Amino acid sequence: MVHIQKNIRVNERIYSKEVRVIGPNSEQLGVMMIRRAIDLAKESSLDLVEVAPTTKPPVCRIMDFSKYKYDQEKKERRIKRNQRVAHLKQIRFKPHIDDHDYQIKVKQAIGFLDKKDKVKINLFFKGRELNYKEQGYKILERIMGDIAKHGEVEKAPIMEGRVMSVVLSPKAGKVVASKADKDLDDEADDAV
């Protein structure tokens, strides 16, 4: 992972007396006093930027700071864009669920799993339904069987008060391509 520095010292904000300087064309200029390094940067109409503050002496580079800052922000945006946060989606069931309602909810759970979200299936019991927990386990097993191609059980079925629940996570190997990825693939096929 790329480490992006937040508080970067530039020119007079560099407090070290001596620094190791890298020139604008990535050439080593050696260790020198800070005042001399700043003067070299100003001669080139560039900035002296501290790129490795923890080393002894700190490493500074002669470069255009605004361009460097822009490139760092660009890297940060790219990293954020490629990150995917898994959300926990919850779906509610009842022990006496109709088959059509069951199919709709299972399809919804599969959709969440395909989008790489975790799914928590909650089975709610009311009144005397609590006496028939075995029926609830059968429903959860049926759900897990129907979703097996798309997800796997992360947390086994558990009874918490009047709610029986199971947590399912997406399978690691299944990747769903976004519309943008499909468009890029189509363009690549057209180019060939």
CATH number at 31 reads 3.10.20.80
User: What is the total count of domains within the chain?
Assistant: 2
**147 shares a domain with 115:** yes
pLDDT in tens, 44-98: 889 888 888 888 889 989 998 888 888 888 988 888 887 777 789 999 999 888 9
**165 shares a domain with 102:** yes
Q: Does some domain include residue 176?
A: no
**134 shares a domain with 97:** yes
Q: Does some domain include residue 59?
A: yes
Q: Is the pTM of this model over 0.85?
A: no
Dihedral in degrees, nearest 10, Cα atoms 169, 175, 179, 184:
160
Question: What's the token pair of residue 83?
Answer: 């990150």
**102 shares a domain with 73:** no
Q: What sections of 47-132 are H helices per DSSP?
A: 65-82, 99-114
Question: What's the token pair of residue 37?
Answer: 């390094």
pLDDT in tens, 94-150: 988 899 999 999 999 999 999 889 999 999 999 888 888 888 899 999 999 999 999
**Domain extent for 39:** 11-81
